[in-house]
Each structure stands twice: as C-alpha cells, then as structure tokens.
C-alpha cells in the first residue's frame, strides 16, 4: 500500500479483516506500506499490521514478492504510481477520484487496458458502492421495482470546513487535490448515482464556489490538531459544487457537493424517483434504505424503512446476526472481497479505470460549465 493517512487506515482495515470473514479465493499478505516519512510510516506499519515499511515506492513495485499495489496517496500522484505499477505487472487498486485531470485519467485507463491484455487487473475505490444498502438499491432498480427513472437527487454534505480559521490542508490545494468538494466528495455522488440507476451522466450544467479564499497555514511540525501560524495560504479549490446532470435516458439529476453544509457530518444522500416507486439512502443511516411502492393502494402508500442487515442482503452473509449494524469500515472489506475475487477469476473488477475516467470527464465538464456561466457541457467532449 502506497500512502498511509486516513485512507490508508481504512484500506488497511479492509485488507486485515476481509480474509477473516469472507472465504477469499486468494490470501492477501500485508507485506509493505510506503510513505515519505520513515518514522511515521513505520508507526503505521506497526499499528495496522503491515510486515514492513518503506519510503521509496519505485523500489517496492519492482519487488518480485509484490502482486498488488493499493494507491491511497493524494490525487496528484495517482497516475505516476498506478501506471508504473501496471507496467510492472502488478494488480492495482486506486482511490477515487482516479486522477487530477482527464489527461492523467486517460493515460491510466490506457495503461489498465494494456495490462488487462496480460491478465493484470485494476479497480477504482468508489467504496460506497459496497455499502449493502446501496447495492440493494441497485438491485431493486435493476429488477424494475421503481419503474422508469424520472428524477434523481444526489447530495454529499459535510461541514468540516465551515470554520474560516480552520487550517490549510492538501485537500485545499488544487495542485495536490485536483479540485475541492467537487472531486473529493462530488465524485462519490456521481458514481453512486450511475451505479444505482445503471445510467451514465451525459451532460451537466453547474457552478463552483469558493466560500473561504484564505486559511492559516500550519506551523512547521504541527499536526492537524495543532495551532495554526499567522501566515495564510490561498485556497485554490471549490468549497461548494452545485450542478444538474442529464442521464442517458434523458432523466434529470441534481447534484450538490459541499463541505459547508452546517450540521451535516458525512451525509451522502441519494433519492431515485420512478414511475412505480422510489428509493432513498442516507450514509448517516447506512444500514437503512427507504422504499416507496407506488403500486400499492392509496391506504398503503408511504416510504417503507428497510433494515438492510439480513443475511440475504448483499455482502451480509458472513457478518453478524440480523440487526447487528455494520459501519463505514465494512465497505473496505467488501472492496477487498470483490477485488481479490476478480483477480482470482480473471475478470474485470468494477468500477474499472474506464469507469473512473468517465467520472473524471463529468468532473471536468462541471468545471468547464461553471467557467462558462453554467452553460450545458457534454461530459464526453
């Protein structure tokens, strides 16, 4: 695994736990974790169960005992690391968004296609596809339970940046992050909409806004919880993204991605309305799905709360008894299960790098639309 911060902890948990609950066809060995700082990456290796640590990712991917490379670094390094790993014959799991630009994502998708011809697999880490309730929502839509899709509303709402004196982080630097709320969390809203509906976003009209343009820099050697310095840095990404998208069927979808929605901590919400019913999901209640069956008599209408914890629900058979809830971290174990199974079976895991490239094109189209005064822009132009 290359990178060992917040996402590194989540991915480590997935690699560690998946083999203990799922009957994997291959056994993952957590061989080495890579970071820039020798002391901190060594501490991460001890904490999360990696056999060793290293500071040179190029040396690691050249090793014969490495079969899989998991990329959890900031977006500006995804392309270089993933392409080098694929060319070295390693299977690659890469965190979302796939890259910081369409050009980088195109290069990664091309490398993945070339590697696939040699039996090398690659996947993007849109982990919310693997929450049992969202997978169950996808199944209901595919089975025709809500009929023809007429409208979608997708939101990813956080408030962790609402304090204007909150310090600068790499996520607020366009050179490192590529974009702000749009790419960081809006990418999830796009992918989850496409996953549940089975349709791609073809065109968008949107606007991006930076609500706080300057923030204090952290002093040297001070962590995120430390005291900020008097020096200030410029925020070069968006804080808020609002856009409308048109799906392949012609249905409209509205999207919001913000890190300034006061009181919302991690609310990825999606509601899909159809001719025969509707479904609604909120990540802050991730074990639940709301389902509305419009074919019932008027006296029986209303959203039904489905507790998605039965063993017949997606991914849940190996876990706890019914009603014993899963959490955020379980999606990463499901991701490992799907990825390792695809490698073993020689099939293409989803979402693929091509899927990640498509999301990158949608993100780019939103940026171009905002720059053009919210004009409609095709996502494949």
Q: Are residues 181 and 42 in the same domain?
A: no
- Whether residue 351 has a cis bond before it, omega within 30° of 0: yes
Instruction: Tell me if 324 sits within 8 A of 69, measured CB to CB.
Output: no
Q: Are residues 313 and 175 in the same domain?
A: yes
Last residue in a domain, options 128, 150, 177: 128
In a domain? residue 343: yes
In a domain? residue 143: yes
In a domain? residue 327: yes
Instruction: Give the CATH number, domain containing residue 40.
Output: 3.40.50.720
Q: Are residues 148 and 75 in the same domain?
A: no
Domains held by the chain: number: 2
In a domain? residue 381: no
Q: Are residues 81 and 222 in the same domain?
A: no
In a domain? residue 28: yes
Instruction: Give the CATH number, domain containing residue 316.
Output: 3.30.360.10
Q: What is the pLDDT along the chain (381 residues), one digit of tens a residue?
A: 999 999 999 999 999 999 999 999 999 999 999 999 999 999 999 999 999 999 999 999 999 999 999 999 999 999 999 999 999 999 999 999 999 999 999 999 999 999 999 999 999 999 999 999 999 999 999 999 999 999 999 999 999 999 999 999 999 999 999 999 999 999 999 999 999 999 999 999 999 999 999 999 986 443 344 555 679 999 999 999 999 999 999 999 999 999 999 999 999 999 999 999 999 999 999 999 999 999 999 999 999 999 999 999 999 999 999 999 999 999 999 999 999 999 999 999 999 999 999 999 999 999 999 999 999 999 986
Q: Are residues 164 and 105 in the same domain?
A: no
Q: Are residues 340 and 203 in the same domain?
A: yes
In a domain? residue 182: yes
Q: Are residues 70 and 176 in the same domain?
A: no
Q: Are residues 73 and 185 in the same domain?
A: no
Q: Are residues 70 and 217 in the same domain?
A: no
In a domain? residue 1: no
Q: Are residues 92 and 216 in the same domain?
A: no
Q: Are residues 54 and 147 in the same domain?
A: no
Domain containing 311: what range?
A: 132-354+356-371
In a domain? residue 198: yes
Please give the model's pTM, rounded to 2 decimal places. Answer: 0.95
Last residue in a domain, options 103, 128, 153: 128
Last residue in a domain, options 99, 128, 157: 128
Q: Are residues 138 and 237 in the same domain?
A: yes
């Amino acid at each position: 695994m290359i990178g060992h911060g917040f996402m590194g902890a989540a991915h480590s948990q997935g690699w560690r736990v998946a083999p203990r609950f799922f009957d994997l066809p291959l056994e993952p060995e957590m061989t080495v974790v890579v970071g820039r700082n020798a002391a901190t990456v060594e501490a991460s290796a001890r904490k999360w169960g990696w056999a060793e640590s290293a500071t040179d990712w190029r040396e690691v991917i050249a090793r014969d005992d490495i079969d899989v490379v998991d990329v959890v670094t900031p977006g500006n390094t995804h392309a270089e690391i993933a392409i080098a790993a694929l060319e070295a014959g390693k299977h690659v799991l890469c965190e979302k968004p796939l890259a910081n630009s369409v050009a980088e994502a195109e290069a990664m998708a091309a490398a993945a296609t070339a590697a696939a011809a040699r039996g090398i697999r690659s996947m993007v880490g849109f982990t919310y596809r693997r929450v049992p309730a969202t997978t169950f929502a996808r199944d209901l839509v595919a089975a025709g339970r809500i009929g023809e899709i007429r409208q979608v509303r997708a939101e990813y709402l956080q408030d962790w940046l609402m304090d204007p004196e909150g310090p600068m982080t790499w996520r607020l630097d366009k050179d490192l992050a590529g974009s702000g709320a749009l790419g960081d969390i809006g990418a999830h809203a796009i992918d989850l909409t496409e996953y549940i509906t089975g349709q791609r976003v073809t065109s968008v009209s949107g606007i991006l806004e930076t609500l706080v343009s300057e923030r204090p820099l952290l002093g040297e050697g001070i962590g995120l919880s430390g005291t900020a310095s008097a020096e200030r840095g410029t925020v070069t990404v968006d804080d808020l993204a609002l856009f409308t998208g048109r799906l392949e069927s012609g249905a409209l979808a509205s999207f919001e991605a913000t890190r300034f929605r006061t009181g919302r901590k991690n609310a990825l919400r999606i509601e899909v309305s159809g001719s025969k019913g509707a479904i609604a999901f909120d990540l802050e209640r991730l074990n639940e799905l709301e389902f509305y069956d419009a074919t019932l008599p008027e006296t029986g209408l209303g959203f039904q709360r489905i507790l998605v914890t039965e063993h017949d629900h997606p991914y849940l058979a190996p876990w706890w008894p019914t009603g014993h809830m899963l959490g955020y971290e379980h999606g990463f174990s499901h991701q490992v299960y799907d990825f390792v199974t695809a490698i073993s079976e020689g099939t293409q895991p989803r979402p693929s790098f091509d899927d990640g490239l498509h999301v990158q094109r949608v993100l780019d189209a939103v940026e171009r639309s905002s720059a053009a005064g919210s004009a409609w822009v095709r996502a494949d132009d």
